[in-house]
Structure 1
Amino acid sequence: MNEKTEELRDIFTSVTDGEETVTESQENTRGSLEQDERSVEERVVRVIARMRERYDFETPLSDDELVAVAKGFYEGESDADLAEDLDVAEEDVFEARMSLHLVSDDDADEVDLVAIRDRNEDDATLADEYDVGEERIRRYRRVAAAKEESRAANDRYRDELDTVLADSALSERMATDVREDGLEDATEGMETNVDF
């Protein structure tokens, strides 16, 4: 080694706390269709925790069960199916969805929720007017309240859940498609007529 090289080596060694070599660990910096399932659940739990803090909602469901309700909602499962899977009451699943601002188009059944929300009449009066049961009116009012609560928060929590769970479901479907396409490409043109 010449003098300049030794000088540079000494500077390098002093700067790197005596390490003779520096190896940077490689990380997957690009996006991946395969997501770590734990990170999805952790992100959903963080959203739920913030919502619990802000709205102080009460539910008999645990955070894990609330995550299952949210995931099931994005996978298109009904409240009845989710209730059966979780071994809880269907009403608890519905209430959990409303607390998480997970309102579907089917929840309103083409009723003017704003009109129902703003009316002061009791449930029986509205039930007669809309020709439905009082339980249905209570449900409509709960849906209207959940939508209003979500709107007041600029749909922030619903958007976060959309980002985490809708993107996760899309990524999972795409990863499955990629694996299947890769297998098709790998086996294309192969002879599969085998005699035993």
Structure 2
Amino acid sequence: MNDKTEELRDIFTDVTDGEETVTESQEDTRGSLERDERSTEERLESVVQQMRERYGFDDVSLSDDELITVAKSFYEGDSDAEIADALGVEPETVFEARMALHLVDEDDADEVDLAAIRNREEDDATLADEYDVDETQIRRYRRIAAAEDESRTANDRYRDEFDSVLADSELSERMTTDVREDGLEDATEGMETDVEF
């Protein structure tokens, strides 16, 4: 070791509190298209539990597992009646569960402007006459408007999480499969397979 090198080593050890070497342990990580290592079920369970803690779900008679089924089925395009049939409950129970989970479909209130009835103080009968629907339908519209308001108050965070888990899961699975297949193709391209040992 020449004088300059030794001088640099001395400076280095002074700066590093006497350590002769500085090494950082490296972790062998692989890239992933998925942002979360938890399973789809675990992520859904987490969202449902957070929502139950925050909102109470007093009007919801379904268990967390059943609520997860409602969310999955909703994203698969099933109607309330189809989901209710699968769970052995009434469609109205599924509707209430969807509203509690902020899963409002664009077809839920396509006949009425929710913004127009959102803050109306008239009773259900008056609005039902005005919109030429029955009171049950007005109560339903008001429940949809309330669910949308609740979702907006939470910055649509729970709906976004459902979107992330359920709407993107099929795409993510398809992409990871394609990447694996492409990677295997690239790795084996040009290899001789007829090799004798």
Query: Kindly, what percent of the aligned residue pairs are identical?
Result: 65
Aligned residue for 1:62? Answer: 63
The number of aligned residues is: 155
Aligned residue for 1:154? Answer: 155
The 3 A distance-change label for structure 1 pair 130 and 40 is same
Letter in 1 for 2:171: L
Letter in 1 for 2:51: M
Larger radius of gyration: 2
Distance 1:118 1:67 in 2: 31
SS at structure 1 position matched to 2:133: coil
Aligned residue for 1:45? Answer: 45
1:42-69 Cα shifts (integer Å, max 9, x gaps): 1111111111111111211111110010
Task: Kindly indicate whether the alpha-carbon contact (under 8 Å) linking 1:66 and 1:96 is maintained by their aligned counterparts in 2.
Answer: yes
Task: Kindly indicate whether the alpha-carbon contact (under 8 Å) linking 1:75 and 1:169 is maintained by their aligned counterparts in 2.
Answer: no
SS at structure 2 position matched to 1:154: coil
Aligned residue for 2:130? Answer: 129
SS at structure 2 position matched to 1:102: coil
Structure 2 residues not aligned, in runs of 5+: 1-25, 183-197
Q: Point out 4+ residue stretches in structure 1 off by more than 4 angstroms.
A: 24-27, 172-176
The structure with the greater share of residues assigned to helix is 1
Distance 2:173 2:91 in 1: 27
Distance 1:120 1:49 in 2: 33
What is the RMSD of the two structures over their aligned residues, measured on CA atoms?
Answer: 2.6
Distance 1:168 1:158 in 2: 15
| Alpha-carbon shift at residue 161 of structure 1 (Å) | 1.0
Aligned residue for 1:78? Answer: 79
Distance 2:74 2:97 in 1: 11
Structure 1 residues not aligned, in runs of 5+: 1-23, 183-196
| Alpha-carbon shift at residue 112 of structure 1 (Å) | 1.2
Larger relative contact order (C-alpha < 8 A, sep ≥ 6)? 1
Distance 2:75 2:54 in 1: 23
TM-score (norm 1): 0.70
SS at structure 1 position matched to 2:67: helix
Aligned residue for 1:166? Answer: 167
1:114-151 Cα shifts (integer Å, max 9, x gaps): 22121111111111110011111010000000000000
